[in-house]
Amino acid sequence: MGGLSACTQPTPQQTASGSTSSGVPAWKTNGNTPLSDARVRTALKLAIDMPAIIDSVFQGKATEANSMTIPGDWLATDLKDYKYDPEQAKALLAEAQWPADYTIDLVTYYADQQTTDFLTVIQQYWQAVGVKMQFRLIQGDTTSQLWVVPKDRVNGPSEVKWDIAYAAKAALVEYENYSLYSSSAPNNSFLPKVDQLDTLLSQVSQTVDTQGQIAIFKQIQKVVNDNMYDIPLYHQIAFAITSNKIDTKGNTFGNDQFYYNTGILDWTTTRSDNTLYTNGGPQEFFQQPTVNPGLFIYQDLVFDRLIDADYKLNPTKGKIAESYQFSSDNKTFSMKIRDGLTWQDGQPLTPADVQFSLELYTKIPTMNAIAAGALKALTGAQDFIDGKTDHIAGITINGSNMELKFDTVSANLLNVLSQWPILPQHLLGKTPLDTLQQDPFWQKPIGSGPYKVDEVVIGNYATLVRWDGYFQKGSGNINRIYMTASTENDANVVKNAGGDMVDYVFNKNVADAIAVAKIPNMKVTDIDFRYTRVFYVNQFPHTPNIK
């Protein structure tokens, strides 16, 4: 396991074993966490028999991960495997002087039984090599509990209290798998500044050459893999659950966590009330879209985007932007905003709303790193963020035409504009950015998409109704969508499917998919898309939240 290095640099008195000359662990001398030692993180990986877990917990519907990157052209071939080796795990823990009385505080936002089963097995594997762990569920505004960055990106202390977060990354583009590791990322709550990663991420964000990107991403993977900056677990497929009451008219299912054109306006139902039953209704509020722009179906359908994307998430044609093009040097993006658009409350949707939304996305603290990075390349963006100007100089409006000028090439701009929706300035223009989610707007939001919010019973259900004011009509008859309240992983999918309360659900739970497939008149389609589950390890100084 040579070549490993901890996030914090060793002091001059530190020995090769990771201890000071007095025998005290270097992490304790530095006031850090034992998880800042790469040998500890490597040991935690080596202690897990992932193939056995995949066979038992996930019934074979996953593949072992050694990187955030899924198998294919983008995956480096020279990564360390870190296969199951509990004896080597014990040796590394002893070498790093792992404290026997330390209990790892592991958090997750998944409330399903499969997650409980998985983490229970992990708990047993770690116990076998002498590491205690407790896991707990976090609910509500998970962003504020998981992804708040420390004031000091080098030395901390941490602004979050957990040791390890069990999370997932369903990347829109490859950059999203690793943007979180930048010391300037607005959501990097766990990894102290790594100069080499900062340099590589900066390089890859400024090139549109695919082969050049692949080469840099392979270097990034090697750095992360050598130092075990995260603990990748497995790549998992997703599922589309449908009933025999709907006809999707041949539309291909894709990764519904990101917005893509489902063609739902052309879907038909045999239900006499023209209603489609699904999940994802608000438990406490409708989730604002800065972190996950299309995690729930209402985010896809209530709001609209500047351009469209296909089921593989490739940008295709204009939506709010009727047409668009890049300049020859790829540093100027021009678009024409479609005439006659309105918000669902009847107010006109104008280029001013587009400018407001793009500027909001550059400033908001919880913004997804891909979108933030793409838009912060706009000329004058930093002056606007710093409060020196009222608007971003690189955004100009001339009637229905808009122009975006960039200081450097914004490699992911089209993906960003196809994912993050335009928001209404007249309703959110005075909302403080650090309390965006708390604005009353998110109790019953108003958008410009094909469906609008109708009835809302927070924590129970909500309905959407087809909006006649949308510029595209479609040939389908689904006039109403009934959403039972649920988190991302709905614990009631099987029950609701058996009770005739599911017509379409995007699902990531293997056990649920297998159970639903046995219900008459229900169908489960494996989606040709894999995403990565991972343990993010908090390497900033902190005190775990163990009671």
DSSP code, position 253: P
Shared domain for 262 and 335, answered yes or no, is no
Shared domain for 194 and 94, answered yes or no, is yes
User: In sequence order, what are the beta bridge partners of 235?
Assistant: 63, 532
Instruction: Name, in order, each residue with C-beta under 8 angstroms of 437's C-beta and a sequence gap of 6 or more.
Output: 141, 143, 285, 287, 288
Shared domain for 181 and 310, answered yes or no, is no
Cα 1–chain centre separation: 31
DSSP code, position 352: H
Distance CA 189, CA 201 (A): 17
Whether 125 is in a domain gets the answer yes
Shared domain for 220 and 338, answered yes or no, is no
Instruction: Name, in order, each residue with C-beta under 8 angstroms of 374's C-beta and a sequence gap of 6 or more.
Output: 410, 411, 412, 413, 415, 416
Residue 488's nearest CA partner among 87, 35, 111 is 111
Distance CA 455, CA 433 (A): 27
**257: domain CATH number?**
3.40.190
CA angle in degrees (0–180, nearest 5) for 183-186-192: 30
Instruction: Name, in order, each residue with C-beta under 8 angstroms of 185's C-beta and a sequence gap of 6 or more.
Output: 149, 179, 369, 372
Distance CA 457, CA 89 (A): 50
Shared domain for 111 and 207, answered yes or no, is yes
Shared domain for 107 and 32, answered yes or no, is yes
Instruction: Provide the terminal-to-terminal Cα distance of the chain, rounded to the nearest Å.
Output: 34
Distance CA 138, CA 161 (A): 12
Whether 180 is in a domain gets the answer yes
| pLDDT of res. 309 | 86
Q: Containing H/E element for 56?
A: helix 50-56
Whether 328 is in a domain gets the answer yes
Residue 38's nearest CA partner among 85, 93, 84, 104 is 93
Distance CA 291, CA 367 (A): 5
- Render each residue's pLDDT in the chain as its tens digit; 547 residues: 333 333 333 332 333 334 444 556 766 666 689 999 999 999 999 999 999 999 999 988 889 999 999 888 899 999 999 999 999 999 999 999 999 999 999 999 998 888 999 999 999 999 999 999 999 999 888 888 999 999 999 999 999 989 999 998 878 788 889 989 999 998 899 999 999 999 999 888 877 777 888 999 999 999 999 999 999 999 988 899 999 999 999 888 887 777 667 899 999 999 999 999 999 999 999 999 988 888 899 999 999 999 998 877 778 899 999 999 999 888 999 999 999 999 999 999 999 999 999 999 999 887 887 888 889 999 999 999 999 999 999 999 999 999 999 998 888 899 899 999 999 999 999 998 888 999 999 999 999 999 999 999 999 999 999 999 999 999 999 999 999 999 887 889 999 999 999 999 999 888 899 999 999 999 999 886 778 999 999 999 987 766 5
With 0.75 as the threshold, say if the pTM is over it: no
Q: Which residue has the tokens 């590791």?
A: 181
Q: Which domain holds residue 165?
A: 26-236+532-537
Give the pLDDT confidence of 196-207 residue by residue, as tens digits. Answer: 999 999 888 877
Q: Which residue has the tokens 């450097």?
A: 408
What is the token pair recorded at 160? 């979050």
Whether 17 is in a domain gets the answer no
Tally the domains of the chain.
Answer: 3
Shared domain for 121 and 201, answered yes or no, is yes
Whether 19 is in a domain gets the answer no
**Omega of the bond prior to 34 within 30 degrees of 0, cis?**
no
3-state secondary structure of 429: coil
Whether 16 is in a domain gets the answer no
